[in-house]
């Protein structure tokens, strides 16, 4: 893990004008929660991130501060790697564990390992996904999750996404663990739900860890506590 100062841009006058740093987003925090906390810690007014992580998910979240917020778009387009625990035999309205179960637990027949191995390659390459209602995607100027929370379900157009690879790591009914490398814009929750439908048993993403964005991996991430202490150290060491 690098020192925070190595991620900073420093002007000729010695002022820190920008930072691009990978942080570890904990589960149960929104990406905006992380941005807001880091804004308070550093005093930077301009802080953004390079790709939302769902609240239940954890892992690599690249933040940009100050002048570096202009660089964030380049990271949003990079390939990403996730580890996901897919819970088979049930479906939720959010496609993750925060939602309401809409199809009963233990539905369908547990698929065998060979069936899963034969199925997963069908979800690689360029595939079509229908964005989930509980997402930040805008349709006709409104966030889908805003409509979903009001009980509104609207028709969404499918979008093309790219799945580079799906690696089966572990399977013991009802949990299926995979590592997924994919392009930007991929909904891992939706991929999990679609795999469940194809297996005729239903599924949702139970746990989700973003392991990598481009060349930025977990090994380079600072936790929020580490970031806080590192920033404090930088400020105390500078005139």
Are residues 131 and 156 in contact, defined by beta-carbon separation less than 8 angstroms?
A: yes
Longest dimension (CA), the chain: 67
Annotated catalytic residue, options 54, 96, 194, 206: 54
The β-bridge partners of 213 are 80, 216
Q: Tokens for 72?
A: 């964030």
- Per the annotation, the verdict on 54 as an active-site residue is yes
CA angle 222–225–228, rounded 5-degree value: 90
Cβ neighbours around 89 below 10 Å, total = 21
On the 0-12 / 13-18 / 19+ scale of CB atoms within 10 A, 39 is: middle
Cβ neighbours around 94 below 10 Å, total = 23
DSSP string, 129-194: EPPPSSSS-EETTEEHHHHHHTT-------EEEEEEEEEEEEEETTEEEEEEEE-TT--HHHHHHH
Output helix, strand, coil percentages for the chain, rounded to the nearest 5.
30, 35, 35
Active site residues: 54
């Amino acid at each position: 893990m690098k020192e925070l100062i190595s991620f900073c841009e420093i002007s000729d006058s010695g002022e820190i004008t920008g930072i691009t740093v990978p942080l570890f987003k904990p589960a149960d925090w929104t990406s905006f929660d992380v941005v807001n906390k880091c804004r308070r810690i550093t005093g930077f007014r301009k802080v953004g991130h390079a790709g939302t992580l769902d609240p239940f998910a954890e892992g690599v979240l690249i933040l940009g501060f100050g002048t570096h917020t202009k660089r964030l778009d380049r990271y949003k387009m990079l390939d990403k790697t996730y580890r996901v625990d897919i819970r088979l035999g049930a479906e939720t309205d959010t496609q993750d564990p925060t939602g309401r179960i809409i199809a009963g637990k233990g539905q369908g027949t547990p698929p065998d390992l060979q069936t899963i191995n034969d199925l997963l390659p069908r979800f690689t390459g360029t595939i079509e996904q229908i964005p989930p209602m509980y997402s930040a995607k805008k349709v006709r100027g409104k966030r889908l999750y805003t409509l979903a929370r009001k009980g509104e379900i609207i028709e969404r157009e499918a979008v093309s996404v790219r799945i580079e690879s799906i690696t089966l790591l572990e399977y013991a009914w009802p949990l299926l663990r995979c590592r997924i490398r994919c392009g930007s814009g991929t909904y891992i929750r939706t991929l999990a739900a679609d795999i469940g439908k194809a297996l005729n048993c239903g599924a949702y993403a139970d746990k989700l860890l973003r392991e990598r964005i481009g060349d930025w991996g977990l090994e380079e991430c600072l936790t929020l506590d580490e970031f806080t202490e590192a920033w404090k150290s930088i400020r105390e060491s500078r005139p």
